[in-house]
Amino acid sequence: MNKPSVLILCTGNSCRSHLAEGILRAAAGDLIEVHSAGSKPAGYVHPKAIQVMREIGLDISGHTSKHMREFLHHQVTTVITVCGIADQACPIFPGQVNRHHWRFDDPAHATGTEAEILAEFRRVRDAIKLTFEAYAAGLREGRKLSG
């Protein structure tokens, strides 16, 4: 049986969506397939996103920045947008049953000292972690109730 597919979208697919993808895959990758993409992909995963994920034991260094159109011919069960612009640009995907919009600040726009910028990446990472681990817990609870 194929696992349901979750696609996490943001505009650039360089920070927030990769943080969420890594966290959700770690929390529920046994239950769902997790992917991320962007409406205007930056073409890279932000090095500070990789760094702050390593700090919590997750390696996203192998992730790549992808355009959301790469998933138009995939069965996507749930689409989760993590920024306002991606929510507005998001198409309906074949098989899509659920859509969630959880907006997070973009740490790539942080300014200040190196320490202040890293603190912003950590703050956003922790907010995403809280939200997506709660989502994964809900998926697990739903599976227990239906299974």
Give the CATH class of 5-146: alpha beta
The two three-digit tokens of residue 51, written as one number = 């760094």
Q: What is the pLDDT along the chain (147 residues), one digit of tens a residue?
A: 589 999 999 989 999 999 999 999 999 999 999 999 998 999 999 999 999 999 999 999 999 999 999 998 888 899 999 987 655 666 666 666 788 999 999 999 999 999 999 999 999 999 999 999 999 999 999 887 876
15 as an active site residue: the answer is no
Domains of the chain, residue spans: 5-146
Please tell me which residue in 6, 7, 9, 10 is annotated as part of the active site: 10
Q: Considering the entire predicted model, what is its pTM?
A: 0.91
Question: Got the DSSP string for 72-100?
Answer: TTS--SEEEE-SHHHHHHPPPPTT--EEE
Please tell me which residue in 8, 20, 79, 90 is annotated as part of the active site: 90
